[in-house]
Amino acid sequence: MSTTPNTARPIKRKRWQGVRDFWARVTEGLQISELWGQFKSEAHASYGLYSKDVDWDSIQKEKNIKRYFLVVWALFQALLMKLSPARRVLLLIAVILLIFQPDIRFGGNEVTLGLGWVGAAILFVLLALELGDRVTMKRDLEIAREIQQWLVPDHPPLVSGMDIAFATRPQNTIAGDYYDAFLRPLPADSSGNSPLLVVVADVAGKSVPAALLMATFQASLRALSSTPASLDEIVAGLNGYTRAHSLDGRRFTTAFLAEINPETREMHYVNAGHNAPILRRASGQIERLSSGGPPFGLPLFSESELPYKSGRVRLQSGDLLFIFTDGVVEAVNEAGQEYGESRLVPLLEAVPPETAAETLKRVLTDVSQFVSFARQHDDITCLVLRVSA
């Protein structure tokens, strides 16, 4: 029974639609150029991971041809040692079978069976095992990310005359950056509006260790802020706690904390070794908020030292405050160039009157366009506060 042209066309269209749907799922809608850029970025990052284990000094002493083989062998060993012992043996067997492709003969010379396909099958099994480990770890990290997201606000507090927006882009699934903005409780015998506390912090390191320390930092900050303690007392408490858990200063934390009186718009702040926030006045003048001291967690010469000096500024209508972590200015493109404050400051100087969310989007878009397909090297966090009339 033959298929007529009228019925064959819908069948072909359905098949091609199925292929297009499958391709869309595989590529997640990315164009070929985007896929290639993503592959180059991931390949560069993987090469950096394996090349750390290569003794380049000894290899450079060899001649050109021998040096090439030594580089390949050293990188293969670095990859091999990242696997478990059992998987190392399987990988070696697979490579030997693929390179030499030995044959097994049955019944004398009548039947010959090549073993190259066995090597390919072993590689496929190894890939499946590694993907299984990755999926399991990814699931655990996603759970950790959900928990971490509970520790930071979903939306900014509503404060009369102030527009706030914030965002973070983790380098990995979870981040060591922290941001927050909340109204502190007033003492029972006080009247007026609750003071606004804004904070952006960056724990040294990345991924899980930094995220765990970030969680303890958040808990300490929230606990201290719920008391009648002044900003200076909160800073002293945070520094004391961080020093007690900093592994002799190896796990320090930079932070910028500011307490704002919504009525007078006076801002009392402390910069603990953090990137100096940018305060763009309504007139266009740029001020940097650097008063403070070293990062939290660094050892002090004596317990009696008072390393933190607070600063005070009065916010005015039209002012823009931009607080950020070093992942913004240290974002690197494929040419190895940093985004830098030389791009950030002029961008903020030229920002038109707009909402804090629009300014935040403007900056993050500019950083993304500069970086292009280069792999993100650090967590990126920004907090924007715009004072309205």
Strand ranges for 250-332 from DSSP E: 253-260, 266-272, 278-280, 286-288, 292-293, 311-314, 320-324
- pLDDT, mean of residues 249-277: 87
pLDDT value of residue 279: 93
Residue 345 CA to residue 186 CA, distance in Å, equals 36
pLDDT value of residue 240: 82
> Which residue is it, tokens 């004391």?
240
- Residue 84 has a CB neighbour count (10 Å cut-off) of 10
pLDDT value of residue 384: 92
155-387 belongs to CATH 3.60.40.10: yes
273 bridge partner residues: 255
C-alpha 255: how far from chain center: 17
CB under 8 Å to 116, separation ≥6 — which residues?
A: 97, 98, 101
pLDDT value of residue 228: 86
Confidence label for 389 from pLDDT (cuts 50, 70 and 90): low
Instruction: Flag whether pLDDT at 354 surpasses 60.
Output: yes
Q: Is the dihedral of CA 93, 94, 100, 103 positive or negative?
A: positive
pLDDT value of residue 271: 93
Share the mean pLDDT of the chain: 81
Ranges of each domain in the chain: 1-27, 31-82, 83-150, 155-387
For the chain, give the number of residues.
389
> Which residue is it, tokens 């990315």?
30
pLDDT value of residue 7: 62
Most confident of 107-111, 153-157, 187-191, 384-388: 384-388
Around 284, how many Cα atoms within 13 Å sit in the side-chain half-sphere?
Answer: 5
Cα-based angle 229, 383, 306 (whole degrees, multiple of 5): 35
Taking phi over 0 as left and psi of -120 to 50 as alpha, with beta for the rest, 273 belongs to left
C-alpha dist (Å) from residue 357 to 53, 163, 363, 368: 44, 8, 10, 16
CB 262 within 8 Å of CB 195: yes
Span 220-249, pLDDT tens digits: 888 888 888 888 888 888 888 887 776 665
Q: Collapse the DSSP code of 166 into the 3-class scheme (helix H, G, I; strand E, B; otherwise coil) and give the result.
A: strand
Rg of the Cα trace of the chain? 28
Name the amino acid, one letter, at 31.
Q
Instruction: Give pTM, 2 decimals.
Output: 0.70
CB 54 within 8 Å of CB 71: yes
pLDDT value of residue 322: 94
Of 57-66, 231-240, 256-265, give the lowest mean pLDDT range.
57-66
pLDDT value of residue 214: 81
Name the amino acid, one letter, at 80.
L
Span 105-139, pLDDT tens digits: 666 556 666 777 888 889 999 988 888 888 777 77
Confidence label for 294 from pLDDT (cuts 50, 70 and 90): confident
Burial of 98 (C-beta count, 10 Å sphere; 0-12/13-18/19+): middle
Confidence label for 380 from pLDDT (cuts 50, 70 and 90): confident
Q: Is the dihedral of CA 19, 25, 29, 33 positive or negative?
A: negative
Q: Is the dihedral of CA 212, 214, 215, 220 positive or negative?
A: positive
Span 168-198, pLDDT tens digits: 887 776 667 888 888 888 766 666 778 889 9
Find the farthest-apart pair of alpha carbons in the chain and give their distance in angstroms, rounded. Answer: 100
Side by side, the strands of the sheet bearing 278-280 are: 162-169, 380-387, 320-324, 278-280, 286-288
CB 122 within 8 Å of CB 90: yes
Between 14 and 341, the higher pLDDT residue: 341
Reading the block at residue 102, the tokens are: 């030995």
C-alpha dist (Å) from residue 335 to 170, 312, 376: 22, 40, 13
